[in-house]
Structure 1
Amino acid sequence: MPKPPREFPNPLFKRWLEEWRDQAGERGRFRLQRTYERALSSLLKYPLPLHSGREARILQYFGEHICRQLDEQLEKHRHAQEDLVAPTTSGSGQEDGPPSNRDVLASDVPFLPAPFSTKPDQLQGQQLKKTKSVSHRRARGYFPAQRSGACAVLVALYQDSTNPHTRGYLTKSELQRAAQPLCDKSFFLAGPGSKITAWSAVSTLIRKELVLKTNIPARYSLTESGLTLAKELSSLGKLPLSQDNDLSHPATGTEEPLVDSEGDDGRVSGQDTSPAERSGEPRPEVFKPQFTFHPGHFDVVLCVDFIETTGGPTSRKRDLVNELERNGVPFSIRKLHVGDFLWVARERNSAGQLLTAQELVLDYVVERKRMPDLCGSIIDGRFHEQKFRLRQCGISHIIYLVEDSGSVQHLSLPEKTLQQAITNTQVVDGFFVKRTCDIRESAAYLTIMTRQLTKLYGDKTLLSCTKEELERERPLQPRNDSCVLLTFAEFNEGAVKNKPQTVNEVFARQLMQISGISGEKAAAILEQYKTPASLLAAYATCRTAQEKEQLLSGIKCGKLQRNLGPALSKTLAQLYCTPGPLL
């Protein structure tokens, strides 16, 4: 039989460290939050009970401050126990005086052995202590500070629940945008010297069973206790917007239109309602950027995937970096989930120094392939998969950089096959193909692109958006004086290779496994039939087998809007309509 899980020997210390860690995060004291987190991690590894904070001094990351704090909390806990239960030790043979720290731990957590005999009346007294202690802790409750991350999340979810058109939940990006005006800290970017944002409060709310997280991608909603607390927080009054809110540009102080926190329709404060709104008809959503970059207040920076600087022989590891440095290109090495190079507009302060702050992804991405890499990707199937992910990443201008370095005579595929694959990438997929001779010429091309994009975007106003908003706003682009761009966090998170896939994405991959179905043709099919179920439903309405075979033949594909054709339509009908195995 499997052994029962080992019971943790220091539950009080663990609980207090977790509370102090969460409180520090809510107050924006991220260094202190990190200190408590490291101490908690060290405590969880220690297998023996600790009788006082002073004894914990032997553990890593337990300094004098934390140990003294634990002793003070332990003393308060002991006094609270004494206040709740009258002393019963007089005349029992025990010495007068306060119990030890171990006694306090034993009275609060029943599985710790007490250092004295457990008579029936003592057990009853200990159980009474435990029950009243728990009820006392519950009476104190959890009440986040105003304009903290936890408060903002609860109020944002409550405001959404009062919307008659609510879906009953918010996604992560929706919740971040709804909660940001209600919080003094950023939900998107960590402060200087920290990796934690206001979003970290959500884990606390989930652990305290105030917020429920379901589904993949995640959906957030209030529990019953969370709804009660959110109502109380919301009833305290309309939360004023902070002066350093992200809705105002830090360099210029120019404010974007503020959202009325009492409204449930996303309307700008003071805006008159239209006849359609008064009649209750659905209205198109108003685009409101989370932050804005004005001309002269950002720099264009080249982002290089770290694989491009670490792969290959040691002598070539830094060749690209050295060339970029020699050409004076501002660049940043980081992990990119799609593409090898892209450009971001990065905010800077009034002194012109670069900050670790907001970043917007420009509408250009580069996938670099040396001929051996191209050959290998075709053989193992990554060639089509990478191109599909590039088309889905939210960037319009995709550049396929082919480095013709080395000989192709000793590769596994003939040169004609490789050249045909490159041609198909340009003609069929619509990517811009750039050929270079070696890594130096590739660096020179990236240098020219960086300078051109600096000129192209330098006089524009850049507006941040989510991927859903970008798809909705893209028909309005290009604009002469402004453009809508994804934040780097939104772009890179949405491009994770192994993230959970939607039915629509799996259906697209399934279609592309059929010979003759390119990504372009698969996308055209998906425009009319989002899922296999919708396609099967369409086949079910067909009266004859011939009608099924011709169902998809008229779908328009590609820039030339050519028909999918009867051959592919028949193949798809056989695949999805044949009940048994295909012969």
Structure 2
Amino acid sequence: MDLPSDLKHLFLAWLEEERVKAEKFSTHLASVYSRGVDNIRASQTVFQHPKQLGSVQGVGPKTVALISARLSKYCDENGYKTVEESVKASEDKARDAAGNEEEAENPTNSKKRKPRKSDGNAMKKKTKKQYVPAKRSGGYAILITLHSFDRRRSGMTKSEIISEAAQFCESSFDPNPATGQFYSAWQSMKTLLNKELVVSNGRPARFSLTEEGSQIAETLCLEDTPKRLLKDVAPPFPILQELEVPDRPFTVWNSGDFSVVLLLDNREIKSKDNRGFFGNTLQRMGVTNETRALSIGDAVWIAKHNETGKEAILDFILERKRLDDLLMSIRDGRFLEQKSRLSRTGIDHVYYLIEEQSSRDVSFMGDSLQTAISATITNSKFHVKRTADAEETAHFLRDLTGLIVEYYKDKSLAVMQLQNLNSQSEYARRLEFHRSRLAEDTKCAHSFETLQVILSKSDMATVGEMFIRMLMAIKGVSLDKAVVIQRRYGTPLKLVDEYERYTGDGRKMLLDEFKGEVGNKKIGPVLSDKIWQVWGGV
């Protein structure tokens, strides 16, 4: 009796059984089997032989051998022909039929047929050589790091891998174009992904070993100097105390394990001629600070772990606006968009600092300014601070830093490392869920890398958010108008399709569509024509 034509359902059932068994003694093996189940289920391949599983990402030779053994046992117990027997019978039948046909056509050549491969004269198959990275290469360092530091097999981010892998590699993980060094050891990650020794999941990307990658990494560890690995890789007491519940996506830093540092955006300057004013002034005041490119905000406060140097963003962020810039952002709609982005950070304490020194006459927008400030305090629940000039702003940053240091003096931190995020709003929701379950003396902190990726202007934006930004690039389209258009049409493609279907004058389509809107949401004939010029001719 022959087996079914597609064995996928059997392979999935057996691998799921193995996953359940593995959970009792090896969380890593269980996660490998779990990935295998997901990838096999998603595959469109018709599986007729266990060897086909080798083409599925995350399924290694050991898993293939395991499924092969289960299939042989299944055939014996249920009276099925094994896959090999079925294939051999089909090949022999086809070969004999071809041979008989050849003999019938040319009997004299029947004795000259080449011997079958099954007669023992078959050529040996060329075995595929296993890829093993060279010692102290980038690939070697990455495999060693993932095997040694990713103990929960939940994956590591790029920055986490680089911070630990540098000690195992002779090349730098950071390219330096200034010295002509364009290669970085991190480029080896592409090879490891292509060889299916490492898999990447989620956003921000987290990298973990496959079954085959884990085997190679284990071999590399055993071949290396045991004493060095014991000393450098596997300290007897982990520096970071991780909570015992594996499903909780955060790590706890105890009070006293970290220092508070003020981080300034490198675009935050007093003037073109005095770019380092804030950093230098605060340093003279005794405030520890660093300057970097921030994805949002002009100043944030981070916790830096005293032992590992790892960083987490604390629950305080500050946005600084000069008065003239604030007024312009109110006029062009940037003000509401910036407030929205600050709200989506999930950070509890947001400071909106308005620096009033300005050479421009801004009296013509006094009412708009007061309305914007009132809405910021009332609706957004931001802390609004007004200063006279950059010097007063620096003093305020000094005082606020002192208060923040005091606030965290006796508190522990739960550093969030949320994975598989699809949008900024999802990040804020999941963050609030975990924050509500923390102890009173434990405060939420944000993984620096995760927050930078999530809150960058485009990396995690939805199609709707990107559509709004595209519309606002047209002069005259404020945030209110862009939101109205996006809610009506959803995506750029639907707007283009609507223009194509519209039987009247396309220049007036939006004018007619939104004629019932009032105030800032109303679209006039000139703006309707402008939008048509951009989107109507696509």
TM-score, normalising length: structure 2: 0.50
Bigger relative contact order (CA 8 A; separation at least 6): 2
**In proportion to residue count, which structure has more helix?**
2
